[in-house]
Amino acid sequence: MISFKKLLGKEEKFYDLLEASAEEARVSTQLLAKILREDSSASASNIHDIINARRKDKRITQKITEELCKTFVTPFEREDIEALSLALYRIPKTVEKLVERLTICPARVPRESMQRQIVLLVEAVEAVDFMVKQLRKGVNLERIQEANNRLQFAEGEADKVMLALVKDLYNGPYEAKEVVILMELYDLVEAAVDRARDAGQIVLQIMLKYS
């Protein structure tokens, strides 16, 4: 006999896992912001925490895949769960890659130039975290759209900041190597914002399907 209590419990498990993944994305971006504000001794611990957040999120993503393979009833379409899980994982993965670059780049590279980008990244990921948590509560399209508007605004502002940073690189007193290094760092932050946008778009699409 089918246990409906067990089936409902499986549905809750997906919400738990997706929310945990969104939380790791949020934590990693906040740690990144902290690294840019603090000295190198404080950053070492934060870098380790970012690596752990990415590893933890990878385990969560793998767990979601496992649950999809052995669960008959899911809260929404399996393809959407897989897509959202992957989009969320790509956020801390990109943040970790950025931090790796920061640890090996020359000390003279001005990290403060990225701070406005990182602030907007944090805002974008916080909006995604909020949106993912709304999935459990059922169809509340208005709150999802409000959060998505915040996310879209952060992405738009990040694009403007990126353009200003690139303009500064083209016209500033930088050596060729510095231009290459900074351009890669700026691109990675922009990529992380794009990952957040992608995750938010998937949440919005899920809510539109069931509204």
Model confidence at 4: pLDDT above 80: no
Extended beta strands in 53-178, E state: none
When pLDDT is averaged across residues 158-167 and rounded to a whole number, the result is 94
What is residue 40's predicted lDDT score, i.e. its pLDDT?
Answer: 53
The number of beta carbons lying within 10 Å of the beta carbon of residue 177 is: 11
Model confidence at 118, pLDDT cuts 50, 70, 90, reads very high
When pLDDT is averaged across residues 162-182 and rounded to a whole number, the result is 89
Which residue did the predictor score with more confidence, 36 or 185?
Answer: 185
What is residue 178's predicted lDDT score, i.e. its pLDDT?
Answer: 85
Domains and CATH numbers, the chain: 4-209 (1.20.58.220)
Average of per-residue pLDDT values in the chain: 87
* Upper half-sphere CA count for residue 34 (Cβ side, 13 Å): 16
Can you spell out the DSSP letters for 115-172? HHHHHHHHHHHHHHHHHHHHHTT---HHHHHHHHHHHHHHHHHHHHHHHHHHHHHHHS
Model confidence at 140: pLDDT above 80: no
What is residue 141's predicted lDDT score, i.e. its pLDDT?
Answer: 83
Token pair 């701070």: residue: 115
Q: From CA 141, how far away is CA 204, in angstroms rounded?
A: 8
When pLDDT is averaged across residues 128-154 and rounded to a whole number, the result is 90
Q: Which of 88, 95, 94, 92 is nearest to 135 (CA)?
A: 88
For the stretch 66-112, pLDDT in tens is 999 988 888 889 999 999 999 999 999 999 999 988 888 766 666 77
What is residue 6's predicted lDDT score, i.e. its pLDDT?
Answer: 42
pTM of the model: 0.88
